[in-house]
């Protein structure tokens, strides 16, 4: 049960980081 909570936290953290990188990439494409 603890491992599932840890997995959830990791997925949320990496999902947030991934979204940041995704939006940064979109902005770069628009600039170029």
Q: Left if phi > 0, otherwise alpha if psi is -120 to 50, otherwise beta: which for 19?
A: alpha
CA distance 11 to 17: 10
Residue with tokens 């491992």: 3
Confidence of residue 29 (pLDDT cuts 50, 70, 90): confident
Average pLDDT score over residue span 19-32: 83
pLDDT of residue 4: 92
pLDDT of residue 32: 54
Q: Note the pLDDT tens digit of each residue in 1-24.
A: 789 999 899 888 888 888 888 888
């Amino acid at each position: 049960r603890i491992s599932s909570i840890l997995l959830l936290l990791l997925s949320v953290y990496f999902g947030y980081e991934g979204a940041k990188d995704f939006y940064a990439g979109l902005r770069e494409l628009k600039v170029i």
